[in-house]
Amino acid sequence: MSKLDGTVALVTGGAGGLGEAVVRRFHDEGASVVIADLADERGEKLANELGDSVTYARASVLEEADLLAAIELASSKGDLRTVVVSHGGWGVTERIVSRDGTPAPLENFSKTLDLYLSGTYNVARLAAAHMSKLPEQETGERGAIITTASIAGYEGQIGQASYAAAKAGVIGLTIAAARDLSATKVRYNTIAPGTMRTAMMESVGEEALAQFAKNVPFPKRLGDPSEFADAALFLATNGYVNGEVIRLDGAQRFGPK
């Protein structure tokens, strides 16, 4: 029997990158999956490839109506027990103050925090509210939420102030959310990946990828999205892991640059 037979999952950012890897793994393990994303072409293509048990829903993590519609769609397939938050789509590299003394635009900082931190919180609060009304499973659990941080949330590099702050917020949210949600019997965990070999990363070229890999102690390579999916599956199925942040980075620690 597959680990997720008969279950339903919602994956935000599931049309590509780490989210796509989770969608594929959960599907392989028997789950029905709703992909919530804004990349319509990729999302619909993935859903068509994987078959009737996978459905695409256009949704912004910042729009409550979008998310409620995606949750309702997932619920039409059965009890929604697992939500994985793995969205991306915005980033800016800039110092807080440039070399000529110009301060970075506050708009960029706010936009980054909105997407990665507020977006994560928005998905979590709506998903948890839905799960709180589900019947308890045999284990007493009602559901599991898995969010995505980054090791930049621990060791932000030069030019990453806004991204590092947002991901540090996702990390800090984890234990507080797990404690808050203990009353609803919903588990809450986070994965903090290092440098992963996604399609976006591959666009920089093999020479740059090899340079990134030099900073990983062991194994001496970038992480594979399938390994992120492995971690998500573990967090979805191990009922005693709660309030944890798992670093998935080959012992990598970011330097200043």
The whole-number pLDDT of residue 256 equals: 83
121 counts as catalytic: no
Asked if 148 contacts 116 with a C-beta cutoff of 8 angstroms, the reply is no
Q: With respect to residue 105, please indicate whether it lies within any of the assigned structural domains.
A: yes
Q: With respect to residue 70, please indicate whether it lies within any of the assigned structural domains.
A: yes
Instruction: Report the pLDDT averaged over residues 3-29.
Output: 97
Catalytic residue, from 56, 163, 188, 240: name it.
Answer: 163
Q: Which two tokens stand for residue 106?
A: 């506050």
Q: With respect to residue 91, please indicate whether it lies within any of the assigned structural domains.
A: yes
- pLDDT of 1 strictly over 90: no
Residue-number span of the structural domain to which 178 is assigned: 8-193+225-248
The whole-number pLDDT of residue 210 equals: 85
Closest CA to 252 of 171, 194, 210, 191: 194
Q: With respect to residue 209, please indicate whether it lies within any of the assigned structural domains.
A: no
The whole-number pLDDT of residue 88 equals: 81
The whole-number pLDDT of residue 205 equals: 83
Q: For the segment 223-255, what is each residue's pLDDT rounded down to a tens digit?
A: 999 999 999 999 999 999 999 999 999 999 988
pTM assigned to the model: 0.95
Q: With respect to residue 255, please indicate whether it lies within any of the assigned structural domains.
A: no
> Which CATH number characterizes residue 129's domain?
3.40.50.720
Q: With respect to residue 149, please indicate whether it lies within any of the assigned structural domains.
A: yes
Contacts of residue 191, Cβ cutoff 8 Å, sequence gap at least 6: 146, 147, 148, 149, 228, 231, 232, 235, 245, 246, 248
Q: With respect to residue 207, please indicate whether it lies within any of the assigned structural domains.
A: no
Q: In total, how many domains does the chain have?
A: 1
Q: With respect to residue 214, please indicate whether it lies within any of the assigned structural domains.
A: no
